[in-house]
Amino acid sequence: MNKVFLVGSLSPDLDMRITNSGKAVCSFSLTVAFKTRVREETDAIDCVAWDALAEQIGQAGQGGRRVAIEGRLHTRQLEGADGQRRKVTEVVVRDIEFLDRLGLARPG
């Protein structure tokens, strides 16, 4: 089973675009906090959403918004501008829930 659940904050740099075939795609990072024995740390997880979900994120998503996402891990190979091949692992988002409300201050 390949299923991922994450709660975190949207990155401020949402990349919303339309493919040559007319599909909407939104790429973004999700900042996820976790605690170690010593301190709290964060990871930036690359995510991608397609079609109507991509449009929803592009319209409602603002940097810093808290969200819960459900999706699956996907690894693909890319060739960079330098000709080097590299692997990219990202979460393909199937569902998103915005955990905050726009215009309302978050407590403390």
Range of the domain at 58: 4-98
Q: What is the pLDDT of residues 62-93, one digit of tens each?
A: 778 999 999 999 999 988 888 899 999 999 99
Residue 101 has pLDDT above 80, yes or no: no
pTM above 0.95? no
Which residue in 73, 78, 108, 102 sits closest to 89, CA to CA?
Answer: 73
| Both tokens assigned to 98 | 């915005």
Q: Which helix (H) or strand (E) holds 4?
A: strand 4-10
- 108 located within any domain: no
Residue 49 lies in a domain: yes
Long-range Cβ pairs for the range 102-106 (8 Å, 24+): 102/60, 102/62, 102/65, 106/66
What is the CATH number for 46? 2.40.50.140
In a domain, 21, yes or no: yes
Answer whether residue 103 is part of any domain: no
The answer to whether residue 62 is domain-embedded is: yes
Count of domains forming the chain: 1
Q: What percent of the chain has pLDDT over 90?
A: 74
Rounded CA-CA distance 64/55 in Å is 18
